[in-house]
Amino acid sequence: MGIAMASLVSGIVALYLHLWKLGITGSLICTGSGGCEYVQGSRYGWFLGVDVALIGTVGYALLFVTALIGTFSRYENAAWPNTVMQWMIWPAVLFTLRLKYGEFIVLRSFCPWCAISATTIVLCAVLVVWDRGRGRE
């Protein structure tokens, strides 16, 4: 349930950032010195021509659905929800490391919205490891 809740929150944040890039939400609410717009508008805001916020929105939605299904009593002892989440979370952790490198080292900036996603995916990684014993009892 923790993974479901965390991914729901970060999915909403990612959707907000994507809608901002589309020009739907108006100005970007950001604390600090405008690091959000700078990071979102940089080359690190895109991956293979796709908006990183859109990738996050879709990824967190899939993670949310998988985690939610894993909470159903029918799948209480099933190992597959954890396995699927492992396959989603660990590539996302690596992708987040790439983005944080770009944000901090290359761009020398900070986006609080991006920090929410980074914190969430690390939390999800910890929780999915903690839950990996599912189905072994």
> Do residues 116 and 9 lie in contact, with contact meaning Cβ atoms separated by under 8 Å?
yes
Distance, first Cα to last Cα, the chain: 19
The model's pLDDT over 4-44, given as tens digits with 9 standing for 90+, comes to 999 999 999 999 999 999 989 877 777 666 678 888 888 98
Asked if 117 and 3 count as a contact pair (C-beta separation under 8 A), the reply is no
DSSP state of 102: I
Most trustworthy range by pLDDT among 37-46, 69-78, 86-95: 86-95
Question: What angle, rounded to 10 degrees, do the helices at 112-130 and 2-21 form?
Answer: 150
User: In sequence order, which ranges of the chain are alpha helices (DSSP H)?
Assistant: 2-21, 35-41, 52-70, 80-100, 112-130
Question: pTM (2 decimals)?
Answer: 0.87
Q: In order of start, what are the domains of the chain with their CATH numbers?
A: 2-130 (1.20.1440.130)
